[in-house]
Amino acid sequence: MSEIAKKASSAKDALAAAAGLSRHDFSAERANELFERIFQEAPIAMAIVDLDYRFVQVNAAMCEMVGYSEQELTQLRSLDITFPEDVDVTRQNAQMLLNGAAGSSFEKRYVRKDNEVIWINCTVHPIELGDGQPRYRLGMVQDITQRKRAEEEIHKLNQDLEQRVQERTAELQAANRELQNDIAERKQTEEALRESEKRLAQAQRIAHLGYWERDLDTDRVVWSNETYRVFGLSPQEKVNHFAGFQERIYPEDREMVMQAIEKALKGGPRYEVEYRVVWPSGEVRFVHSQGDVILDESGQPRRMFGTVQDVTGRKQAEEALREAEQKYRAIFENAVEGIFQTTPEGKYISVNPALARLYGYDSPAELMASVGDIAGTIYVDPERRAAFKRLIETKGSVELFEYEVFRKDGSKIWLCENARAVRDVNGVIMYYEGTVEDITERKLVDEVKRASKAKSEFLSRMSHELRTPLNAILGFSQLLERQKPTEIQQKRIGYILSAGKHLLGLINEVLDISRIEAGRMQLSLEPVCIADALEETLDLMRPLATERTIQLSASVDIDAGVHVLADRQRFKQVLLNLLNNAVKYTPFCGGVTVSYNVNGNDKVRVLVSDTGPGIPPEKLARLFTPFDRLGAEQSAVEGTGLGLALSQRLMQAMGGSIGADSAVGKGSTFWIELPRTKSPLEKLPVRNEANGARESTSQSRIRSILYIEDNLSNLSLIEQMLAERPGTALLTTMQGKVGLDLARQHSPDLILLDLHLPDLPGWDVLSQLKANATTRDIPVVVISADATKRQINRLMAAGAAHYLTKPLDVTKFFRVLDETTDIGGTKLPAEAISNVEVKEACQST
Ligand code: ADP
């Protein structure tokens, strides 16, 4: 038990003893003693201080509390042991007491003698000594250090706790914020993931790229929507098992796919295959699939995943490309034209076999290896290559570019090229490509054609000019012949006539050649008596045959009257050419025979055989090639090499044919074949009474004829010819307009019209005659040197009754005259003449 506790206990005892006494028993002394005893032994520290804070009296508990002895304390002031910071509180409290406040309690600190600071609770009561004036203060002091410390501890704890709560709260708030952020971030991530999944799905759909997974333990499979589409299924038609996948593989490809999977699972090459799948509709599609294997920790395959893509479009394009490539290859390899690709510098990149052949090389490889510089090696004129490059580089392509090249053996050929420049994305020329064609032959032919055309045009003009004077020569000779000449005159006239005719024939031939070459051949088909034609041509040939002592014989039945449908002039021309060849190529004293045979009812074949040198079989095929004289150019025999070519074309134009058989050293037989036709005389109607009566009456009247012609010799020729017809009166004029007036005034029975008039074209004169009621029905016979078919057709269509060509064939003239005017003489029916001369002329070309 502490000292204070002991004292307290004895104080209690003292008070208890005191409690047994009555108030009246207390004397002042006794009371002081008692108070002293209670004061001293009180378990609570007590001190009496004066107004100056001097300890007046202190009890033992007080001394124990502050560590000072009573004596030491009474030497001190309470302020001396008060903790400096609490001095003010002490003073304030003391002041309150002085101001009349009853006892008050407050807390403050003392500094013990050993300097320990203790907390006390001090309850102060004023003490007055009966005069009402407070003189002392009694303080009861309680050590509350423990409590204060506990309180401080608690306070500190509270503070700690609060700080920790605050810290924790802050931590929680931070964590919460982080969580919020995390959540927001996660939401964003989820959103982004969803977006990305959506995009992925879109991308998959666009690319036809599906995703698949296979669990190798369970063989379960997971397919993305696009994978379903790739297999022609909807995602609702669940395929959960690997077997479902296998079923959809095209049967022939199944094994290959399974093997590829097996190899990948065993660590072999990565799984990547192309195979076909069969859609439920039966359609077969191509897919490309690839995938990876996932292994567990022990290296065992657990899962496979990968992609599958529909590549049908690509496959089809590849197939089309392959086919196109094959086609192109075939064209490239087999083309007749040369195909090439070259660098702009002039090196071949690729060439086809045709090009190699063209240049005389054995193979494309040999050509490419041999030619390093096209301009220098191939081009005859390297400037042409420069021109080619300029063209292709500025225009991008060249068409029909012609140039001459050297072949491997040094020979030259002409080529025609079409090419284009192939550029890269920057427009830089990578190479040229194109085709070439050998045009050497065409070049030659063109050259020949050009020369020939120029010659034809010249000949055509010349011969036309020659025909007009010949008209007078032949016409007047024929007239003279009809005027009963003396024998000697007759002979001379004969010479003039035959020379004129020969000259006319020659001119005609020259004209024919030019016309054939210009493609303007005119024919007039009519029944031609074979015997007559042969006789005429043989007559012409006789002088030459005699000259060359060639025996000319003809086994021809003149009375047979066999006719062929032909252009009389051209037919005779061909015969003449064959006979001429036979006579000129057969050596002196040889023989030439002419014959014909009827081939069935359709054809007549005329044969010209000679005992000449014959033609070697290898040359026979060249007989009809223009300008090819088969070596005769080396001999003394003159010729152009055109006769047979011309004959062949004429025969073809007349619907016939020509050919030859020959044996070297024995002779040749040339033949021509033409369609057979009836004699025109067979078509003559049987003359009856009525016709005879008409003829006799018609002969009794004068017929008037108007001749519109500006050439005096022609006018005079017709005048003299008509002098043979006593029943005719001739009106003539050299002007077209005057002719029209005369026609209207005199209404002649016939108008003869020339086409080349000084004032009006003959065409206009005819049109106006036909347009006028007075002259419309007068038959008009056109007489012109222009014998073109177009011209004849045009004038016949415009109303001409006949078209006669100059030089006039007198017999034919009278025939036409008779027909159109009924002016005496033997007449042919109109249809017999016009049919043959006009209609068949139209059919002939
Ligand atoms: P040419 O003007 O040279 O006679 P042709 O076209 O008439 O031209 O004949 C062509 C070639 O055919 C002649 O150059 C000649 O070599 C040959 N030929 C034509 N007829 C005979 C023939 N009867 N006998 C031998 N060779 C002939």
Distance (Å, whole) CA 766 – CA 772: 10
pLDDT of residue 502: 66
Ligand 1 center to 644 CA (angstroms): 7
277 lines ligand 1 (CB under 6 A): no
Q: What is the mean pLDDT of residues 52-75?
A: 92
List the structure tokens of 812: 């034919």
CA 511 / ligand 1 centre spacing (Å): 20
Tokens of 427: 């427009």
Q: Is 632 in the pocket of ligand 1 (CB under 6 A)?
A: yes
Q: Which residue puts its alpha carbon closest to atom 23 of ligand 1? A: 582
Ligand 1 within 6 A of CB of 680: no
Is the beta carbon of 611 within 6 A of some atom in ligand 1?
Answer: no
**pLDDT at site 839:** 26
DSSP 836: I
Q: Name the residue among 567, 595, 576 with its Cα closest to residue 675.
A: 567
Mean pLDDT of 483-487: 88
pLDDT > 90 in the chain, percent: 42
At position 431, the amino acid (one-letter code) is Y
**pLDDT for position 494:** 87
Q: How much distance in Å is there from the Cα of 581 to the middle of ligand 1?
A: 6
What does the block give as tokens for 170? 């802050």
Question: Ligand 1 in contact with 639 (CB < 6 A)?
Answer: yes
Query: In terms of DSSP bridges, do strands 117-128 and 271-278 run parallel, antiparallel, or are they unpaired?
Result: unpaired
CB of residue 658 inside a 6 A radius of ligand 1: no
Q: Would the CB of 581 count as within 6 Å of ligand 1?
A: yes
Compute the mean pLDDT over every residue in the chain, rounded to the nearest whole number.
84
Average the pLDDT over each of 26-40, 212-226, 291-305, 790-804 and give the range with the smallest value: 26-40
- Reply yes or no on whether the pLDDT at 229 is more than 60: yes
Mutation pick for ligand 1 pocket among 580, 638, 644 (CB with most ligand atoms within 8 Å): 644
- Write the pLDDT tens digit of every residue in 667-714: 999 999 999 988 765 543 433 333 333 333 344 467 889 999 887 778
What one-character DSSP code corresponds to residue 124? E
All residues at 6 or more sequence positions from 34 whose CB lies less than 8 Å from its CB, including other chains: 14, 18, 26
β-pairing, 301-310 with 209-215?
A: antiparallel
Give the model's pLDDT for residue 750.
92
Enumerate the β-bridge partners of residue 781: 752, 802
Average pLDDT in the 645-673 region? 92
- Report the separation in Å between the CA atom of 641 and the middle of ligand 1, taken as the mean of its atom positions: 7
Nearest atom within ligand 1 for CA of residue 639: 2
Q: Is the CB of 781 inside a 6 Å radius of any atom of ligand 1?
A: no
The per-residue pLDDT for 834 is 29
Burial class for 605, CB neighbours closer than 10 Å (0-12, 13-18, 19+): middle
CA of 374 to the centre of ligand 1 (A): 45
Measure 439 CA to ligand 1 centroid, in angstroms. Answer: 29
**Does the C-beta of 375 come closer than 6 Å to ligand 1?**
no
Give the three-class secondary structure for 677. Answer: strand
Picking from 423, 383, 388, 382, the residue whose alpha carbon sits closest to that of residue 402 is: 388
Best probe residue, ligand 1, of 552, 573, 585 (max atoms within 8 Å of C-beta): 585
Which one is predicted more confidently, 128 or 191?
Answer: 191
Q: Cα 484–486–489 angle (5° rounding)?
A: 105
Q: Which residues pair with 677 in a beta bridge?
A: 563
611: its two tokens: 């005992």
| Highest mean pLDDT of the ranges 172-176, 410-414, 510-514, 811-815 | 410-414
**Cα 496 from Cα 475, distance rounded (Å):** 11
Range list of β-strands (E), 3-133: 45-50, 55-58, 104-111, 117-128
Q: Tell me which of 324-333, 639-648, 675-684 is least confident.
A: 675-684
pLDDT at position 341 is 94
18 CA to centre of ligand 1 in angstroms = 194
Residue 217 has which token pair? Answer: 């333990």
State pLDDT tens for residues 117-131.
999 998 888 888 777
Ligand 1 contact, 38 CB (< 6 A): no
Helices (H) then strands (E): counts for the chain: 29, 27
Closest atom of ligand 1 to 577 CA is 7
- Give the pLDDT score at 520: 66
> pTM score, two decimals?
0.35
